[in-house]
Chain A
Amino acid sequence: MTDRKQAPAPPPELPLDERVRDLICEQLSVAPDEVTPEAGFIKDLNADSLDMVELTMAMEEEFGFEISEEQAERLQTVGDALAFIEKQLDS
């Protein structure tokens, strides 16, 4: 059994925008260069309403806070999501 205190330190975290980008790439199977701040999830990245629910779930898991349905509905673009996450993490 490995003692919890001796567990290796997690790797240094990537900058927030890269973590968000990687998450979107993984969830929506899109290339990193498609994930621009202006890109709309549904309009440009071909997500449907179910993809959006799952993307929201993945963000909750990754960043450790809950996203209400009203909040999720306002996340139309990559930029919206990034700004929202920054704000939640600051508060």
Chain B
Amino acid sequence: MRDAVGVRRVVVTGVGLVSPLGVGTAATWEGLLAGRSGAGPITRFDASAFPVRIACEVKGFDPLDFVERRSLRKMDTFSIYAMAASLLAVEDAGLAAPVPAPDRTGVIIASGIGGFETIEREHGNLLARGPRRISPFFVPNMVVNLAGGNVSIRLNARGPNTAPATACAAGSHAIGDAFRLIRFGYADAMVAGGTEATITPMCIGGFARMRALSTRNDDPERASRPFDRDRDGFVVGEGSGVVFLEERERALARGATPYAEVIGYGMTGDAFHITAPAANGNGAVRVMRAALDEAGAAPEEVDSVNAHGTSTPLNDRIETAAIRKVFGDHADRLVVNSTKSMTGHLLGGAGGLEAGIACLTLRHQIVPPTINYETADPDCDLDVAPNVARPARVRSVLSNSFGFGGTNAALLFRQPDVSEGLDP
């Protein structure tokens, strides 16, 4: 690492996932390795009048497994998913609520949008029945930072508490920001990730009007097809991915088994367009380089990239070109997968989920596939682990997230070095 003086090392010791592939980390990982699609017809509302009638919904989730009945009405679904993922991450780290060293443990849970379901319901109450029928829980249900707020209360985590709202890059910003807080000594442990629950009429309708979504309504399981020639947009997903980050010495001292070490974090802006990525991939190129630079890592040290890979025509083409520019000849030795082919796009939750998947990839040395890859696109000519999970030697994984507004984040994870003492 570039400068060890006064800079601490950060490891991931817990992963908590609630995804369209399953409730829990093991169920999600199993689905990923099997190459299963989480997509299906929308059941959350009557979508028959909508141009898009498919999504990746979380199935078989019982909120009461994670939140007491009394608190349910005070939390939007996006907060409940975050609570579930956070509790699973903490448990996976071998800890439980209340967490130890509470003043040195913080929470950063991102969401791209917040409590959309609540906004729509309460706005309906306002229009139909007037202002006196707006719930007093409307605001605390809906506000983006309340996912992390609720989690901090449950865990008694009293350290730094923030919530990036940087669209589809938000989950990665959460983990990157948390990494820096530990690295520079502002906290010793952080619960960090992202969450989203936007399978609602306004959200599906709004993204559909942007023509950002796949309209493959008759074949939902094949709708999310990143890097395939016939991709036609993303599929909205929901759920939450949260990791438990710890200062490395503390983690090793208590006998935790790290999944990965976080070694680099990049943040850039495109300054180009409100929704389209910069045409030359400039923001994506610089964000990957920034993550590598922070780690002092050469491109050749990376074996896999968990791509943003949304399955929109534009993203996948520009991201492919950006990866080629950053990695040069090494790009052809990378495995570049998009797990959104299976989970759909969790928007602000995507970076959290995909960080968790990067950690699992490093632990199990298997890269989950990009499913629905059928026809090559000459503009997307990387090895995308098509359709079948790939056992591989994976030393480092770079995870990309790009958001509307031209906001980009990249996280670099490597296999943990569990030897005591100084840097290897």
Contacts and interface: CB of A to CB of B under 8 A. Distances in A.
Contact of B136 (A28, A29, A50, A60): A50
Contact of B137 (A28, A50, A60): A50
Contacts of B135: 54, 57
Contacts of A50: 74, 136-137, 140
Contacts of B70: 28-29
Nearest to A53: B136
A20 B141 CA distance: 26
A21 to B, nearest CB: 17
Chain B binding surface, main DSSP class: loop
Interface string A46-73: 0000100110010010000010000000
B136 A54 contact: yes
Contacts of B69: 29
Nearest to A47: B70
Contacts of A66: 132
Contacts of A60: 132
B288 to A, nearest CB: 45
Which range contains the number of A residues in contact with the other chain? under 10
B133 interface: yes
Contacts of A29: 68-70
Interface string B119-138: 00000000000001101110
Nearest to B68: A29
Contact of A57 (B68, B74, B132, B140): B132
Contacts of B140: 50
Interface in A7-31: 28-29
A30 to B, nearest CB: 8
Contacts of A57: 132-133, 135-136
Nearest to B70: A29
A67 B70 CA distance: 24
A24 B141 CA distance: 21
B71 to A, nearest CB: 8
Interface in B97-156: 132-133, 135-137, 140
Interface string B167-190: 000000000000000000000000
Interface in B60-90: 68-70, 73-74
Interface in B347-378: none
Interface string A24-49: 00001100000000000000000000
A54 B139 CA distance: 13
A29 B73 CA distance: 10
Nearest to B139: A50
Contacts of A54: 73, 135-137
Nearest to A29: B70
A47 B336 CA distance: 51
Contacts of B137: 50, 54
Contacts of A28: 70
B321 to A, nearest CB: 51
A87 B33 CA distance: 65
A28 B70 CA distance: 6
A65 to B, nearest CB: 12
A31 to B, nearest CB: 12
A32 to B, nearest CB: 15
Given A50-B140, A57-B135, A66-B132, 16 more contacts: A28-B70, A29-B68, A29-B69, A29-B70, A50-B74, A50-B136, A50-B137, A53-B136, A54-B73, A54-B135, A54-B136, A54-B137, A57-B132, A57-B133, A57-B136, A60-B132
5 contacts: A50-B137, A50-B140, A54-B135, A57-B133, A57-B136
Interface of A: 28-29, 50, 53-54, 57, 60, 66
